[in-house]
Amino acid sequence: MTFTLKRTTTAGILTVMGATALVGCGIGDKPGEAATGDESDGSIDVVWKGDADRAASIQEALDLFNESHPDVTITTDYQSGSEYMQKMSIRFASGDAPDLMRQERETLRDYSDRGTLLDLNEVSDVLDLSALSETVRDAGVVDGKQFGVPGGITSFSYAIRADILDEYGVEVPDMETWTWDDLLQTAAEVTEASGGEVWGTEIPVGEISNLGIWLRQHGEDLWDAEGNPAFTAGTVEAWFDMYLEAVDMGAQPAADQLDQLGAAADQSTLGQGLVAINSIPTNSFAVFNDVSGGGLEMGYYPGESQAEQRGQQVIPSLYWSISATSADPEASAEVLDFLINDPEGAAIIGSTHGQPANPDVSAAMADDLTEDDKIAFDEILDLSELDLAAPVPDPAGSAALRDELASIADQVKFGQITSAEGAEQFVEVAESTLGSA
């Protein structure tokens, strides 16, 4: 084997390899053909986000639908994680939009504002939304058009590892009336009593839904119905300050002392017993309690009973939407109606998407629930009966805003900027990103 490198040879090899690498980085898709409708091939494409377990239950429900509607052919696809929405945008971009799909809270308006979703009022002859409460139904309305139907409802709640507090002799606070100060005090006691084995809490300072609850407790909100920012820098600064105070008190670990492995219950710091008090999605109570060894108690956010307006909300856990280019919107709407309203069909999907949006369905399901699921159902039911701010669909740009908050909060956590500077920055990015579509 001869290996004689000459200038031209090296240059040649590099040019070829370099060019290949460069060509590879040109990202581009064929411009969307949103205007052209899909050819009707007599089948409905249903896609959703989730794991194989959820897929099995949705498939079972769809099979049941087919028993009474043998003429409708259904094809399916699913994907878990944030990749779901990326897959979705590519399908829309390539003119291959699904007929019936899950939309996220953050993305409903990204799609509806661009005219890619069907106003479900147009198929109201087959899709009956009358059983849903007005608040729930309106959570999918943009400019008077029903672009999404909540496929389930949930909220965020606070959860306490009562087993850990008992172990260290710390009194479990009354979650009906507790304040943010109570949270910090209790948390600091846990940290101290456990000698640093367990941290009291973790203020979810960089998580936008939690900031939203804090803002509403102070009479503000992340955005208004028009999608414009609806908060002041001072309230955000107070949120950041509370985090810094919690670290000072030892109520919560400093920014680099605990790693978040993942969002799943068994990876969470709460589930692993590294932190005693934290916020969880209400409908996930059963899994969190399971990994916590059954010692979990769930209740209101701190400060709810003292606030001028309760900050917690009952929010859609997802939306179901139909593509504006669907070749068969009627059949798609029939499938959707079945998933929302059919006592059997909706029951098969069960609580995987939170509490069913149709109260008749959840009432029918209540008897067969496990004890933990019943706790979650009752909590959401209890919240629904309170005077809560009605959720509006997240404005376009909210996904970018969510990332910005996480990044700004990181800088505050590590002292790279002050809480006042962080709040100021967040106001600025909110003004430039929200409603920018």
Partner 1 sequence: MTVTGEARPRLEPPTVLPTERSRKRRRRRDLAGYIFLLPWFGGVLLTFVPFCISLYLAFTDYDLLTPPTFTGLDNITQMLNDTRLHNSLVVTFTYTFVSVPLSLAAALGVAVLLNRGMRGLPLYRSIFYLPSLLGGSVAIVMLWRAIFGADGIVNHVLGLFGVEAGSWIQNPDTAMGVLISLQVWTFGSPMVIFLAALRQVPQELYEAAAVDGARKWRRFVSITMPMISPVIFFNLVLSLIGALQTFTQGFVMSNGTGGPAGSTMFYNLYLYQQGFTNFNMGYASAMAWLLLLIIAAFTGINFFAQKYWVHYES
Identify the three-state secondary structure at position 64: helix
| Nearest distance in Å: CB 14, partner 1 | 5
All residues at 6 or more sequence positions from 15 whose CB lies less than 8 Å from its CB, including other chains: none
| Nearer of residues 85 and 276 to partner 1, judged by Cβ | 85
Q: How far is the CB of 418 from partner 1 (least distance, A)?
A: 14
Nearer to partner 1 by C-beta: 9 or 73? Answer: 9
**Cβ contacts of residue 197 below 8 Å, gap of 6+?**
none
Looking at beta carbons only, is 39 or 259 nearer to partner 1?
259
154 phi, psi to nearest 5 deg: -150, -170
> In terms of Cα–Cα distance, which of 318, 314, 316 is closest to 102?
318
> 7: helix, coil or strand?
helix
Sequence-separated (6 or more) residues with CB below 8 Å from residue 125? none
DSSP state of 352: B
- Strand, helix or coil for residue 201: strand
Nearer to partner 1, 9 or 124 (CB): 9
- In whole angstroms, give the CA distance from residue 57 to residue 390: 30
- State the minimum distance, in angstroms, from the CB of residue 47 to partner 1: 16
Which CB, 96 or 344, lies closer to partner 1?
A: 96
Rounded Cα distance, 44 and 62, in Å: 11
Q: Which is nearer to partner 1, 66 or 116 (CB)?
A: 116
How near is the Cβ of 78 to partner 1 at its closest, in Å? Answer: 18
Q: Rounded CA gap, 251 and 389, in Å?
A: 30
Tokens at residue 424, please? Answer: 């100021």
- Which spans of this chain sit near partner 1 (rule: CB under 8 A)? 1-7, 9-11, 13-14, 16-18, 20-35, 82, 85-86, 89-90, 92-93, 110-111, 114-116, 254-259, 397, 399-400, 403, 406-407, 410-411, 413-414, 416, 437
CB 273 within 8 A of CB 267: no
Q: How far is the CB of 263 from partner 1 (least distance, A)?
A: 9
SS3 29: coil
State the nearest-atom distance from the C-beta of 417 to partner 1, in Å.
Answer: 9
Q: Which is nearer to partner 1, 198 or 340 (CB)?
A: 198
Smallest separation, CB 225 to partner 1 (Å): 22
